[in-house]
Structure 1
C-alpha cells in the first residue's frame, strides 16, 4: 500500500491516520478481503482529515473523511460530520452535485473518531481552475453559484439550528445560543470573548427583529469556491460538484456564509444576484446582517486561532468592534 500523509506539526489540529488505520477503515466499509492500493491525504481542507483512497478492483478512488477526535472539537463545531449526514435528505434538490455516501461510522470502534467514505466527485477544485479562464467568463460561475444557493435556501425546515440539533423554536434563540457557544469556545482557547457576548446580549434584547424570520430555511453554512468542483475541460467555468456540507443550518438564508461571500466584493461575484434574486435591503434586514457578520467573525477568530494565525485573531477584534458599534 502506498501511503502519503501530509507533513504536519505534532500538535496540529488535523491529526492523520496511520496506514494501518486506513486499512482497518477500508475493511470495515468494504469487507475483510479489500486491498488498498494507495491512500493520499488531501491538504486543502482545514477541519476534517481527508484521504483519496484507491482500492483493487474499483475504477474510481473513494474519499475518506475523518472527523477530529471528540475532545478536539469546539462546542460550536460539535459533530459536524453527523450534521452533514443528517442534512442529506434535505438536500435532495442538489443531489447530482453532492458526493454519494458509501459508508459512515459513528461507533468509534475502529479508530476512535467519526468517519465517512464518499464517492469521488468529477472535476477540479474551483480555486485550482477558475483562474485559468479569462475574468470575463467568471460571471458564469457565480451565476451558477447563485442558482444553487437559491435552490438550497428554498428548502424549508421544522426548527431553527443545526440540522442534527439542538433544535430551537425561534431564530433569535438559535442565534443567541450559537453566539454563546462561540464565546465559550473562545474562553476555552484563552481568548477574550467579551465582544461576542455583547453581540449576544444585543441579539437577545432585539429578538423581535430577529424573529421576523419565522420560517427556517436551509443554509449550507460554509459554501463558496473552496468547496466547489468545476469541469476541467468546459469552455466556461461549469460547476460539477460541491462538498463539505457539514455546517448546514436551519436559519435565515441571509445569515449563510455564501451570502456573506457574495456581498464581499463588487467584482465578478455580483453576477450571483442575477440568479439568486435581489437582497432584502430594508433597515431590519441590514441590522440583522450585521449580527450575522459578528457571528461569522467569531467563528473566523476560532479558526484563525486553530491555524496559529495570531495576526488574524487580533484583526478579528478590530473588525468585530466596528460591527458592534453599528448594532449596539
Structure 2
C-alpha cells in the first residue's frame, strides 16, 4: 500500500480526510501508549540497540542498521540483527541463511541484512534476541520495534525522512504516525534525519526535545565501478519512497526510460518482471532496482537485474560514536 498523499499534504491536519479520520488516529495513539505501558521489558543481559521510527513505512531504518553494524564490528564487537521479518512466513526464532532462505520466508530486509551480520527473524523479539545471544552475539541491533515492549532498549535510535518529516502530525489512519511524535521522541536517545541539505534545512523547523541529539545523514551511492552516465535504464522500486531511488539514478547521469514505483515490499511476480524485461530489450535498456527489492527477485531474474547500492553517510557521527562507546564500555562490577 502506498501512503496517501494527504498524510504529507500542505493542508496538514486541516485536510478533510485527516479531520475525518483523526478520532481513529487518537484511538490508535492511545492503544500504542497502553501497549508500551503494560508490556514487560525483557532484559537479556547484553546491550540492545533499537533502530525504529515514529512514522509508518520506510524512513531509512535498514541503511541505519547497516551503518550501526559496521561501526560495532569496527569496534571489535559481535553484533547480531533481530527482525520481525515483515512479509515472511517463518515465525522463528530462525537465523537467516542467504543460501537457504527466500524473501517469502524471512522478509526482504532480513535477507539483505544477513549479508552484513548474523540476522535472526522472530515474531517474538525477546526470543529472537535470546537466540542471538546464545549464538554468540555481544550486542543486539533490533530492526524496528520502537513501539514494541518486549525488550529493554539500552539505546533507542529513531530514524526520520527529513523531506517528509512527521507528516501532518496525526496518527494512523489520519496520518503517518504510530504514536504522537512528541511522545516517541521523549523516549529516543538519538534522532537520525536522512535527506539532502535542502530537506535537512526544512526539517530544522521541526520542534524537537532540547536534550535529544540529532544526526544529519544522507544516502550516498556506493562506488562499484559502474558508469551510469547516459545509461538507458528501466528502474523499479518497492521501498517507502521509490522516487528517492529514481532521483539518485538521475543524479548519477542515468537515462530513466521508465520508473516503476511499487508498494513497499510488493511481491515481484514473474509476469511483471517478464513485461519489464521485454520493454528493456525493445529499448536497449538495463533493468535496475534497489538492494532490498533485489532480495525478492525470483532466481531466474537475479542475473538480469542490476542494483544501485547505497550507504548511510553522517555529517557528524560523533554523537553516535560516543553513544556506542558508552554503551559497549565494560561495566564495573563489585563482589
Q: TM-score range by the shorter chain?
A: under 0.3
Higher relative contact order (CA 8 A, sep 6+): 2
TM-score (norm 1): 0.27
Which structure's residues are more often strand, by fraction? 2
Which structure's residues are more often helix, by fraction? 1
TM-score (norm 2): 0.26
